[in-house]
Structure 1
Amino acid sequence: MSEPTTPNLFQRLRYIAGGKLPASMSQWVIDDLTGPGAARRYMLRVLIPIIPPLCLFLLIPGPLWMGLAMMALLYLPLIYFTAALMYVFRRARLAKHGLDPALADHRERERAASAREVYERAHGRGTPPGGA
């Protein structure tokens, strides 16, 4: 029987909490951290679980706006730092799973190479028309 290549529910929850998956799931980890929707998944995994504890501020006596303001004072910087540290986080997760951290910016490098090729063609520096 071959090893599974995608995590079950328990493994996925452990992975979201920072745990390591077996080596047989390396491709799934790469796709999760660098594939389409990786940024959205990362942001949601950090920003959604913190909402219930922040709602405890609504239990503090006083006007509703005061509890909401206290929540915002914590949540807005969290959003900023979560987005700012996304690249660092992805590299660390790849390294933790024994994968090359350079995979974190693989898609960006492909996009930059494609844009450079288009630029060079447009400005006469690329392959001449006719492909010779």
Structure 2
Amino acid sequence: MTNRSRSARSRPTPFQWLGYAFGRRLPDSMQDWVRNDLIGDWAVPRHLVRSMVPFIPVFAAFFLFPGPVWLRGSMVLLGVFLALFYSVAYMAQNRSRRLEKHGLPPDLENPKARRRHDAERAAYSRAHPRA
């Protein structure tokens, strides 16, 4: 791979993706990939997976605690549930911040979701006209 093709990548390498999962900025050549990652059709599952990556060392450390395996596994499961809860709770803010960090408008939305939202708003306006 030449230097030119390395700098013009459209997808991150595994190490770049790992840095991205921890909050690092990707090169400008990957803005389309970032846009799709954050507002594409599968953005929510990707967000959940990406948000669990920084917690892997914590979950691994729970297995080093003394006690029966079921207790250590329960600690990991509780940690996963708690991390998922906060990940879902702050998903919109996280997406906005990542979009902004990569030079994209922070209010970008999935085009399909935007069309559905606009259709629902229009249907509501037709059903409940202002007096």
TM band (smaller chain): 0.7 to 0.9
2:116 matched to 1:111?
yes
Residues 12 and 52 (structure 1 numbering): CA distance in 2 closer, same or farther, change over 3 Å?
Answer: closer
> What is the CA–CA distance in structure 2 between the aligned matches of 1:116 and 1:68, rounded to whole Å?
46
Tell me, in whole angstroms, the C-alpha distance in 2 between the residues paired with 1:78 and 1:99. 27
Equivalent residues, number: 124
2:41 is the alignment partner of 1:36: yes
Using the alignment, how far apart are the partners of 2:17 and 2:64 within structure 1?
A: 33
1:1-132 matches, within 5 Å, as: 4=8, 6-9=10-13, 10-48=15-53, 50-51=55-56, 53-104=58-109, 108-119=113-124, 123=127
Structure 2 CA distance for partners of 1:88 and 1:56, relative to 1, 3 Å: same
Q: Given the two structures, how large is their TM-score scaled by the length of structure 1?
A: 0.72
- State the AA in 2 paired with 1:102: D
Q: Which runs of no fewer than 5 residues in structure 2 stay unpaired?
A: none
8 Å contact from structure 1 (residues 6, 25) kept in 2: yes
Aligned mates of 1:48, 1:35 — CA distance in 2: 20
- C-alpha displacement of 1:94: 0.6
Which has the larger Rg? Answer: 1
* Alignment TM-score, normalising by the size of structure 2: 0.73
**Offset at residue 106 of structure 1 (A):** 6.0
Task: Give yes or no for contact 1:26–1:97 (8 Å, CA) kept in 2.
Answer: yes
Aligned to 1:7, what secondary structure does the other structure show?
coil
Secondary structure of 1:26's counterpart equals helix
Identity %: 36
SS of 1:66's partner is helix
| Contact preservation (8 Å) 1:91, 1:102 | yes
Taking the aligned partners of 1:12 and 1:97, their CA distance within structure 2 comes to 14
Secondary structure of residue in 2 paired with 1:78: helix
